[in-house]
Amino acid sequence: MNSIQQRIEELKQKLNRYSYEYYVLDRPTVDDISFDLMMKELEALEEQYPQYLSPDSPTQRVGGEINKEFQQVEHRFPMLSLANTYSKEEIVDFVRRAEELLGMKDLEWVCELKYDGLAISLLYENGILVRAATRGNGQVGDDVTANIKTIHSVPLRLMGDDYPAEFEIRGEVIFPHKAFEDFNRQRIENGEEPFANCRNAASGSLKLQDSRQVAKRNLDCFLYFIIGDGLDLQTHYQRLRKAQSWGFKTGNFFAVAQNINEITDFINYWDKQRFELPFDIDGIVIKLNDISLWDRLGSTAKSPRWATAYKFKAEQAFSKLTGVEYQVGRTGIVTPVAEFEPVHLGGTTVKRATLHNEAQMELLDLCKGDTLVIEKGGEIIPKIVEAKHDEAILSQGKAERIRFVSHCPVCGSELVKEQDQAGRFCPNYNHCPPQILGRFQHFISKKAMNIESLGGEKMRYLLNAGKVSDFASIYDLRQEDLIGTYTSEDGKKISIQEKGANNIITAIDISRKVPFERVLYALGIRYVGEVGAKTLARHFENADNLAKASAEELLGVEDIGKTIAESIVSYFADSENLIQIEKLKQRGLQFEIIKEEKSNLLGGKSFVVSGTFKSFSREEIKKTIELNGGKNVSSLSSKTDYLVCGERIGPEKKRKAEALNIKMIGENEFISMLG
């Protein structure tokens, strides 16, 4: 091994060790600056000597691969789900059944936390992470390896040397509370809807196509189950401890229980302490400790008989209703929010909860002074499950029922209720302040015009200050218009300096190139979502054709129903909207599909594109392939014709291409194929 290779290996070992100490043990032994300097040195060496780049390198945690389709993989061992129990009596029955089936008494059990996230299976070969897969249907799951590598607590290379040549370890991907709150705060600032709970957000994160976006979410992963050949340890507890020595994050939230009383004590302790944890759990898992007995107990079609899950009851709190506030969204929908006396629930103090819509309010039959039953369960957002009336007031006939408002609480317009819709909305589309703010925040959001340097909160301040009056006025802003200090309605202040103002102007200019389907989505037409906007743009090709379309013509478009069709007709019947579109056209926004010439130069050949390029982005290369008659495929197979190799392509991909005899071409060779 030469000196360069030795230095690369030394840096890899140090960085992996420091990551383990920081993300798993929570005991960092090196400062951030030193860590970053070592990482930069390693990146530079691997770029200069790509032959020494390996999948277990800490530089490979975020490769930037775009995964359009998640490949499905078959689990070597089925990923069964656990049977759920909801009472201590059911736990007693579970233990008794196991003892009767085995003909044994005084069995040992391991009690663990039941993490509330997404189940994952990690496959290791010779100490290297080679694949990560979701549970799926238990037999087949999605390959999410690139996204799992972004989680720093998941080791890319194991420590020690006593691990089996091949094994699986299973666990749960979670969204820690602080990371979730930071992520939701950013979404709100960008004018996007916050996620309701950590579990759904963690699950959705692993299905993102860009691993760089997953990395920004700071997910975590607890591992709790090892399966495979060559595992000599005969108890589940020993395997968990051994997994810790290999670098896995198993936590220290598990214990051996000798009897049902010790199991119950563990459950009771964590039923109270769970609210002090920095992540969500929804119960306790109980597993037979002696692994040799698992096969004797066997499994049902869905669940093992040697393990079960005790689910905590959703925590409830009681509070007195003090009033109902009504919030107006960007599409005019009015949402009622119950306000009640502050109460401690699920580790936080809450005093508000959404009532969703008029129908839900009527179902609860709210009266002034009601006692509300509030629940959190696994949800971050509290919900009201029942309203208890004061019986004395009811018997006297003095109960004052709370009715849904008939007029907009902000602009005073009479609310409208559409047939088949649960809620009411304010029809004052162009002049209702919260609708205007919501539409501005939607217009600049990532999936619309993507003016990311501006952000939802800055937009609020600019609107309050009169710096913008409609969408078109955003494109009239100059750097000197933005510099200054702004105050919100509640007295909060922000400052925009020269550099920040310059970034905003640059982002605004770039957004003029956003394609028509996203501009259409950005307009915020009621019921027209991201997919619907793309469908309409491709069908009508430009805004003028769409504006002239009748409801009947719109209904003839695939996936466009009556509600969307009527909303579009209504939008284009409003002269103010037509004036707005005309002004946006004058400022250079795209209001028609740009047709690109196609050829058959690549004649049906299939391509995999990997790495980074000088003349193209990876997406531009893929688009060029399609425009010239080629096909993009997500993974290498014997049917792939070419692997287009950029810089920093992974060595595993190259080795696979060589094994399958796939021709590898560089950027210049690809350009020459196009003449």
- Active-site annotation, residues: 114
CA dihedral angle for residue 314, residue 317, residue 321, residue 324, rounded to 10 degrees: -40
* Tokens describing residue 116: 């509330």
Q: Describe the strand order of the beta sheet including 220-227 as a list of residue ranges.
A: 128-134, 118-125, 166-174, 220-227
Beta strands of 39-153 (E only): which ranges? 72-74, 84-85, 109-115, 118-125, 128-134, 140-142
Spatial contact of 385 and 399, defined as CB atoms under 8 Å apart: no
DSSP state of 21: I
Q: Report whether 286 contacts 308 (CB < 8 A).
A: yes
In angstroms, the CA 435 to CA 440 distance is: 9
CA distance 658 to 651: 11
Report DSSP state, residue 58. Answer: G
Contact (CB, 8 A) for 413 and 426: yes
Taking a C-beta distance cutoff of 8 angstroms, is the pair 161, 411 a contact? no
CA distance 418 to 563: 10
**β-strand 416-417 against 307-311: which pairing, if any?**
unpaired
Region at 400 (left for phi over 0; alpha for psi -120 to 50; beta for the rest): beta
- Rounded CA-CA distance 499/48 in Å is 34
What distance in Å separates the CA atoms of residue 491 and residue 481, rounded to the nearest whole number? 21
* 325 strand-pairing partners: 337
Contacts of residue 575, defined as CB under 8 A and 6 or more positions apart, other chains included, come to none
- At 568, the amino acid letter reads I
CB 46 within 8 A of CB 40: no
What is the C-alpha to C-alpha distance for residues 313 and 496, in angstroms, rounded to an integer? Answer: 48
Q: Give the tokens for residue 483.
A: 């510099």
DSSP string, 320-356: EEEEEEEEE-TT-BEEEEEEEEEEEETTEEEEEEE--
Q: Which of 281, 330, 327 is nearest to 523 (CA)?
A: 330
Tell me whether strands 307-311 and 642-645 are parallel, antiparallel or unpaired.
unpaired
Among candidates 426, 453, 437, which has minimal Cα distance to 489? 437
Quick count: other Cβ atoms within 10 Å of Cβ 506? 13
Residue 618 CA to residue 601 CA, distance in Å, equals 19
3-state helix, strand and coil shares in percent for the chain, rounded to the nearest 5: 40, 20, 40
Q: Distance (Å, rounded) from C-alpha 553 to C-alpha 506?
A: 39
Q: Dihedral sign, CA of 420, 422, 424, 427?
A: negative
Instruction: Give every strand in the sheet of 663-665, ordered side by side.
Output: 631-632, 606-610, 642-645, 663-665
d(CA 530, CA 518): 7
DSSP sequence for 567-607: HHHHHHH-HHHHHHHHHHHHTT---B--------TTTT-EE
How far is residue 29's CA from residue 145's CA, in Å, rounded to a whole number? 28
